[in-house]
Amino acid sequence: MNRLIAVIGGDARYLELIKQLKNVPNNKLLLCGFDKLEQGFTGLNELELDELDPSTLDVVILPITGIDQNGKVETVFTDKEIHLEPNWFQQLKKTCVVFTGITNDYLTEQTKNSGVKLIPLLERDDVAIYNSIPTAEGAIMMAFEQTDQTIHSSRVMVVGFGRVGNTVANKFSALGAHVSVCARSIKDLARITEMGLQAIPLSKMAEYTSECDILINTIPALVVTKESIQHLPTNAVIIDLASKPGGTDFTYAKRRGINAILARSLPGIVAPRTAGKILADVVNQILDEERSES
């Protein structure tokens, strides 16, 4: 039984995702928002939105960034605007599954009102853990670019010990950096110590930033505050990996002359092919689970 999949918009990661999904038997792909690509690149025809019949679709894959509050789809490979109106969602069959990277009130409301299943991929643990690898490698790349010293023997402070923070701390430590990790929970602080790294309670971060060359934040809340930044050495760099607007007081960092960078979507920048394969693998796994349950 064929599975009709519409990929609507997306960035470089989606080129690999399309390739991977196309290779799965019974998957039939329709592309919308890729007219800048030669058809031979994907081997698939590109359609206009009004040429897509929503009632026939089994799967809709929206960009990692989702859609805005007006239904506008973020696109990279077309200059044409694509809007998904409430009526478009209403035409989807109830068994349709809608994938996005992140959702918002508009998308959540439209899928709920239409009775279709919405899966925000970046909220899943498996995707976040897989993505933490290219994210950490991207942070390493930025550290090389933004500093004038080796990572080996550098004093690196990682703020947060979640899925990304754990991997970042591991990778920098493996390169010979002196890594400290700031975390809230006693359990995380114990694990950090067990890993041979310096564990710092998040509430005491400001007491340790004077001995930091590279500060890497992974917490999507304002945690790298004026108090912490004012003690950083002037040649230190802040790499903020948290989702927009980050967790750093960028205004104060600039005032102090500290190089602070909001590094968003690193997997899609440093390793789009790997990031696309990760997404395709998870999408295929979810769809196979959905089919076995039905």
**Adjacent-strand bridge partners of 201:** 183
* Cα 121 to Cα 99: distance, rounded to the nearest angstrom: 7
Residue with tokens 């991207």: 138
| Nearest CA among 241, 211, 236 for reference residue 223 | 241
Could you tell me the CA-to-CA distances from 198 to 6, 21, 62, 193 in Å, in that order? 48, 43, 41, 6
What would the two tokens of residue 253 be?
């960092």
> What one-character-per-residue DSSP string does 223-263 give?
-B-HHHHTTS-TT-EEEE-SSTT-SB-HHHHHHHT-EEEE-
Single pTM value for the model:
0.84
Q: What angle do CA 37, 45, 76 make, to 5 degrees?
A: 35
pLDDT of 6 reads: 96
pLDDT of 114 reads: 97
pLDDT tens for the chain, residues 1 to 294: 789 999 999 999 999 999 999 999 989 999 999 988 876 566 677 899 999 999 999 999 999 989 999 999 999 999 999 999 999 999 999 999 999 999 999 999 999 999 999 999 999 999 999 999 999 999 999 999 999 999 999 999 999 999 999 999 999 999 999 999 999 999 999 999 999 999 999 999 999 999 999 999 999 999 999 999 999 999 999 999 998 889 999 999 999 999 999 998 888 888 999 999 999 999 999 998 877 665
Q: Cβ–Cβ contacts within 10 Å for residue 226, how many?
A: 13
* Cα 74 to Cα 67: distance, rounded to the nearest angstrom: 6
* Cα 140 to Cα 137: distance, rounded to the nearest angstrom: 5
